[in-house]
Amino acid sequence: MNALDATIAEVFRREHGRIIATLIRVCGSFELAEEAMQEAFASALLDWRDNGVPRSPGAWITTTARNKLVDVLRRDRTRKREQDAVGYEIELRASEDDMSDFDAEHHGDDRLRLIFTCCHPALNREAQIALTLRTLGGLTTTAIARAFLLPEPTLAQRLVRAQRKIKTAKIPYQVPSTDALPERLASVRSVLYLIFNEGYVATQSTELVSGELCTEAIRLTRMLCELLPNDPESLGLLALMLLHDSRRNARVDANGDLVTLDEQDRSMWDRAMIIEGAGLVETALLLGQPGPYQLQAAIAAVHAEALTAAETDWPQIAALYAELEKSQPTPIVALNRAVAVGMSEGPAQGLALLEQLHRHQQLDGYHLYHAARADVLRRLELNDRALEAYRAAIALTTNAAERRFLEKRIASLATRNT
């Protein structure tokens, strides 16, 4: 890649969300906005080669795309001129006035509008994720399809249907009203966290981690925090992602096999991400509105601050999970609290809590419940029951790296029994 190509790629990565958000506002069409932006970047290749990179590359792309949209409007409306010349001229002038509203002060609002449109509750969750990654993230259809192991035509159709739904259902391109904002913002955070989680443990992949999705989720959440700097749960979500992702390089070995938290080489953890994440947790909690993402981030910070596995403050983690369970009484949170109790008070206490959770059908089909139970049984040297639990976990595991890890645990226990 030559220097100019690298510059244009960097401008696209950095400015894509700002540009597309503004173009959609002024033309009202995802498709037209994307086509105009792509044409503007193509024009940049020719113009910048001859005239050099402008002082404000993003503004150059935006203005060029705006001019292309005006040309499209003029061509499309020329057909109306003879039918209603006066009405046409009024409509065209109004549209061009809208197109001129491109100053930078609107960029933040435009991106917020786009976030809430992509994550509108009228769209299903799969469409929300795909549209967010394609429109705000700038990921190609090919890249998104590859990340979720979908055929590219399937992903493309999902995007087309989502854009059509926005148009036909007249989903507003706006920031929700004050009374609706908390619920809608919670939906946005949920979409971003789902994107991160799919990258953190790639569901159907042969690899454990999809770094591209983790990085994109962090970038989008960082953008959300920049646009809403005093929202503690968004800060907590960003902190949680950073603290988890700080361990990315230590989570697999040279063969791509999973390395558990207690066995990871902590010198491989990204200390800069840990420092930033821990600082964000503190900032968020000081706002005095503790929520689930902040509490989960606080738990991740306790793990991150332990220089060795033996130094982990498990009683504090168990207490934080107990607090989290008060506001988020889900079986998954109860499972994590049981594991933390097992680490802080002993495996017998942890097993007692895990056995109580067996009544939840949601956990019965969750591979990590069976894996956690197997680990506690292994520590109690109840090997036959542990083997049974590990086999149940494997039957439910879709990630190849996790499956290999569980198979190794089974082989180790089988050796003990012979």
* pLDDT tens digit sequence for 113-129: 999 999 999 999 999 99
Q: Whose structure tokens read 């009202």?
A: 28
Confidence of residue 362 (pLDDT cuts 50, 70, 90): confident
Residues 44 and 8 sit within 8 Å (Cβ to Cβ): yes
Least confident of 18-27, 82-91, 242-251, 349-358: 82-91
Least confident of 27-31, 39-43, 166-170: 27-31
C-alpha 179/C-alpha 172 separation (Å) is 16
Asked if residue 272 has pLDDT above 50, the reply is yes
Report pLDDT for 323. 96
Answer with the residue of higher pLDDT: 239 or 253: 239
C-alpha 30/C-alpha 232 separation (Å) is 31
Domain ranges of the chain: 3-102, 112-174+181-228, 365-418
Which pair of structure tokens corresponds to residue 37?
């932006």
Q: Would you call 52 helix, strand, or coil by DSSP?
A: coil
Asked if residue 377 has pLDDT above 50, the reply is yes
Answer with the residue of higher pLDDT: 102 or 214: 214
Report pLDDT for 331. 92
Report pLDDT for 99. 44
Please state, rounded to an integer, the average pLDDT across all residues of the chain: 86
Q: Would you call 182 helix, strand, or coil by DSSP?
A: helix
- Residue 357 is given by DSSP the state G
- Residue 175 is given by DSSP the state P
Specify the DSSP element, H or E, that contains 143: helix 141-147
pLDDT in tens, 84-114: 544 434 343 434 444 444 444 444 578 889 9
CB within 8 Å of 315: residues ≥ 6 apart? 344
Report pLDDT for 95. 46
C-alpha 334/C-alpha 309 separation (Å) is 22
Mean pLDDT, residues 241-259: 90
Q: Would you call 257 helix, strand, or coil by DSSP?
A: coil
Confidence of residue 418 (pLDDT cuts 50, 70, 90): low
Specify the DSSP element, H or E, that contains 30: helix 30-51
Answer with the residue of higher pLDDT: 186 or 361: 186
Asked if residue 81 has pLDDT above 60, the reply is no
Residue 46 half-sphere exposure, CB side, CA atoms within 13 Å?
5
Instruction: Note every long-range contact of 264-273, with CB atoms under 8 Å and residues 24 or more positions apart, other chains counting.
Output: 266/306, 266/307, 266/308, 269/304, 270/245, 270/246, 271/246, 273/242, 273/243, 273/245, 273/246
Q: How far is CA 124 from the centre of its chain?
A: 16
Mean pLDDT, residues 56-75: 88
Residues 280 and 297 sit within 8 Å (Cβ to Cβ): yes
C-alpha 128/C-alpha 144 separation (Å) is 13
R_g (Cα) of the chain, nearest Å: 25
Answer with the residue of higher pLDDT: 356 or 203: 356
Residue 330 half-sphere exposure, CB side, CA atoms within 13 Å?
8
Taking CA atoms, 20 is separated from 41, 53, 195, 199, 390, in Å, by 12, 20, 20, 24, 48
DSSP per-residue codes, 342-356: HHHH-HHHHHHHHHH
Residue type, 348: A
Residue type, 221: T
Strand partners, 258: 252
Q: How far is CA 209 from the centre of its chain?
A: 13
Mean pLDDT, residues 222-250: 94
Total Cβ atoms within 10 A of residue 252: 17
Nearest to 96 by CA among 79, 73, 126, 117: 73
Asked if residue 247 has pLDDT above 50, the reply is yes
Confidence of residue 400 (pLDDT cuts 50, 70, 90): confident
